[in-house]
Structure 1
Amino acid sequence: MSDDTSPAAIARKRLYWHSRRGMWELDLLLIPFLEQRYDQLEEGDQRAFQQLIDEEDQDLFVWLMRREWPGDPVLRHIVKMIVEHAESTDNSAYRTL
């Protein structure tokens, strides 16, 4: 069985497409984090990311732009990880998403 059709690969592709949002600003934060950090996250943080991308775009925008923090401490933790990653990484390659 090819890696492209393995359950893990299919789940990863699904996660990638769910990370693509209707707002360019969110794509610039979520996609690089998924591609560069997700595989190194602990299982609990991976679940938190999966939970986060089920939230509404408006909420994600407010949280990731640091206007407010999520009330849920699990979501707050993963949002802070995404923001820190964006601030410490050159993501210029993603500006053409």
Structure 2
Amino acid sequence: MLSPVEKSRLKWACRRGMLELDVIFMPFYENEFDALSDADQQTFISLLESDDPDLFRWTMGHAVPADPAFVALIKMILERNQARHDRQL
């Protein structure tokens, strides 16, 4: 379990240099992170250590990360964000 300070840092790490990434990672963090398994939380933290251009290519489907855990987590992020968006309509 992360301390409040660690969670604050993680929330800040979700703020990227690209608006397209902000709208993907911030809602996922705010709505889903606490319910993730410890392993998925650690994968999310590791994913956020990636460079913005890589994150952009991966989330837009222009490239596939080498790490299978990243592939699965990105799929989860996109699916859950889409489901949340669909429920709001």
**What TM-score comes out, normalization by structure 1 length?**
0.83
Moved more, 30-39 or 81-90: 81-90
CA RMSD of aligned residues (A): 1.4
Query: In the alignment, residue 47 of structure 2 is paired with which amino acid?
Result: L
SS of residue in 2 equivalent to 1:90:
helix
1:84: which partner in 2? 79
Alpha-carbon separation, structure 1, partners of 2:20 and 2:42: 22
TM-superposition CA deviations, 1:35-91 (whole Å, max 9, x none): 000000000000000000000000000011112221110111111111111221129
Which runs of 5 or more residues in structure 2 are unaligned? none
Say which of 25, 45, 63 aligns to 1:68.
Answer: 63
**What TM-score comes out, normalization by structure 2 length?**
0.90
1:57: which partner in 2? 52
Alpha-carbon separation, structure 1, partners of 2:40 and 2:73: 7
Structure 1 or 2, whichever has the larger Rg, is 1
- Give the percent of matched residue pairs that are identical in Structure 1 and Structure 2: 38
